[in-house]
Amino acid sequence: MADRTILDMFRLDGRVAIVTGASSGLGAVFARALAEAGADVALGARRADRLTDTQQAVEAAGRRAIAVRTDVSVPEDCQALVDATMGEFGRVDILVNNAGIGTAAPATRETPEQFRQVIDVNLNGCYWMAQACGRVMQPGSSIVNISSVLGLTTAGLPQAAYAASKAGLIGLTRDLAQQWTGRKGIRVNALAPGFFTSEMTDQYPEGYLESQLERVLVGRKGDPDELAAALVFLVSDAGGYVTGTTIPVEGGMLTS
């Protein structure tokens, strides 16, 4: 449309988004931001009882929401979330693969179960969700995988499983974009956040964040809304010429 403004390109009116890991932290911020931009939102999380606040935030922004208990490491749960979204809204335009867990076990002591669980949620779960969405998404749809700066660098903690899963997610992003952008019209990108306040950062050892902030050119932790703004760019028409890439949002940490 000739009269469409730049800001209009960021609007998501009439679109439907799925956000995993939406019960708290960044997932809740993402869901609210998508609703503020105009999207209806399907919320998935293992702790379904904790989705109420997020659902209310979406509805307070004037949009519709549903909440579905979802363990992304279970392919059937992923399919059920997509089926529920299609049943309620009739479409899926946006997937935000945000569900994730982390460990900080030294590599010689990390158990096979610990390692497998992280990979199963952070990497496999994103694939099952993308796979289920890819079957119903129409041209113009968008997937954003939430990777991490730890998929691109190290940061002083023993996080082999987490780093491996997030680096794997970057590779998965490239390949799905290659498979689906030209053939299906589905753009696939990743965000690589640096340090943002979340349940995961709450578990860091005392003094750890302060020690790492020396590497961050901006000199502070990120505001979750800054990450959400990057997400809205990627899933909206504003990001329509971006696919197969990973955008770091890390305050310059990767320059050090």
What are the catalytic residues? Answer: 162
Round to whole Å and give the CA distance between 145 and 82. Answer: 16
Dist. CA 142–CA 121, nearest whole Å: 21
> Helix H segments across the chain?
25-36, 52-60, 75-89, 112-119, 125-134, 160-184, 199-202, 208-212, 224-235
CA gap 131, 134 in Å, rounded: 5
**Dist CA 203 CA 50 (whole Å):** 19
- For the record, the structure tokens of 184 come out as 């299906």
Instruction: Give dist(CA 96, CA 17) in Å, integer.
Output: 7
Contacts of 162 by beta carbon, 8 Å cutoff, 6+ apart: 102, 103, 118, 122, 148, 150
Each residue of 40-71: b (16+ CB within 10 Å) or e? bbbbbbbeeeebeebbebbeebebebbbbbbb
Residue listed under structure tokens 């971006």? 242
